[in-house]
Amino acid sequence: MTRTLKLGVNIDHVATVRQARLASQPSPLEAAQLCIAAGADGITAHLREDRRHIQDADVIALSQAGLRLNMEMALTEEMVRIASTLVRPQSCCLVPEKRQELTTEGGLDAVASLDKLLRWVPVLKNAGIAVSLFIAPDFAQIDCARQCGAEFVELHTGSFANAVSASEQAAELDRLAKGAEYAHSLGIGVNAGHGIDYENIKPLLAAVPHLHELNIGHSIIARAIMKGVGAAVVDMLELMKDYKGE
């Protein structure tokens, strides 16, 4: 059976371990190659403004290795320049960024950022890069994705992943499903990510239609510490294989 739902593995946490000692290992590139060998469809890496984990050399090496790279990045002139001239990933995902956060805490406010999006999205697209916006599953945010010409949205699943009750989880799944339906109706591809793990992926897949790709990092890298990165990817792919999308 052909698997319709793609998996992008975020390797930021591999770089986090490396940077803890400012060492050469573990190698994000080697981890990425193991993920692809195990069946992952692509690699996600977030080049943050403070360079706390992934470095410029990492994204360049990932791109030069011929891997399908989704570069997460803030909506800044510096990042647009790096992506469009030095890295040229197959896709980029525009995300919000705060220096004090442990990880990306919420979706990009595309409504408030529309002027920047209208300026920078065409630059990225003219460089042959597909553009995604990491946003909450809200119609106004999705409308801005369409207005600026983004080909994809990545729906922020953090509120769903952090839900503490069944009713709260159900409400978040309903928001995600409606957001996916709306984006699909506008001709925008639908990805999802943040906080997806080996337990909550099943209710997510059961509820949310039209998903093209999941971007998952922490749970896979955490399992890889115990089981190996290849086994961790295979385990996640097994959970994704029967997704129908409708």
Q: CATH number for the domain including 232? A: 3.20.20.70
Strand partners, 135: 155
114-165 residue pLDDT tens = 999 999 999 999 999 999 999 999 999 999 999 999 999 999 999 999 999 9
pTM of the model: 0.90
Burial class of residue 175, CB neighbours in 10 A (0-12, 13-18, 19+): middle
- The verdict on residue 7 lying in a domain is no
> Is 78 an annotated catalytic residue?
no
- What sign does the dihedral 57-12-99-79 (CA atoms) show? positive
Q: Within the chain, what is the greatest distance between any pair of CA atoms? A: 47
Q: Please spell the DSSP secondary structure of 84-136, one letter per residue.
A: IIII--SEEEE----TT-SS--S---TTTTHHHHHHHHHHHHHTT-EEEEEE-
Which pLDDT score, from 0 to 100, does residue 228 have? Answer: 87
- The verdict on residue 23 lying in a domain is no
> Is 194 an annotated catalytic residue?
yes
Those residues of the chain that have pLDDT short of 70 are 1-3, 98-105
- The verdict on residue 168 lying in a domain is yes
Active-site hit among 72, 97, 154, 172:
72
Which pLDDT score, from 0 to 100, does residue 103 have? Answer: 54
CB atoms within 10 A of CB 170: 14
Q: Which two tokens stand for residue 119?
A: 């300026």
Query: Which residue range forms the structural domain that includes residue 198?
Result: 73-240
Which pLDDT score, from 0 to 100, does residue 1 have? Answer: 44
- The verdict on residue 59 lying in a domain is no
Which pLDDT score, from 0 to 100, does residue 229 have? Answer: 83
Active-site hit among 13, 156, 184, 194:
194
> Is 13 an annotated catalytic residue?
no
- The verdict on residue 5 lying in a domain is no
Burial class of residue 77, CB neighbours in 10 A (0-12, 13-18, 19+): exposed
- The verdict on residue 233 lying in a domain is yes
Q: Which two tokens stand for residue 132?
A: 């995604």
Which pLDDT score, from 0 to 100, does residue 99 have? Answer: 57
Quote the number of domains for the chain.
1
DSSP code at position 107: -
* ω into 26 cis (within 30 of 0): yes
- The verdict on residue 67 lying in a domain is no
- The verdict on residue 57 lying in a domain is no
DSSP code at position 212: E
Residue 74: what residue type? A
- What sign does the dihedral 221-222-226-227 (CA atoms) show? negative
d(CA 234, CA 112): 39
CB 93 within 8 A of CB 133: yes
Which pLDDT score, from 0 to 100, does residue 100 have? Answer: 56
d(CA 192, CA 162): 15
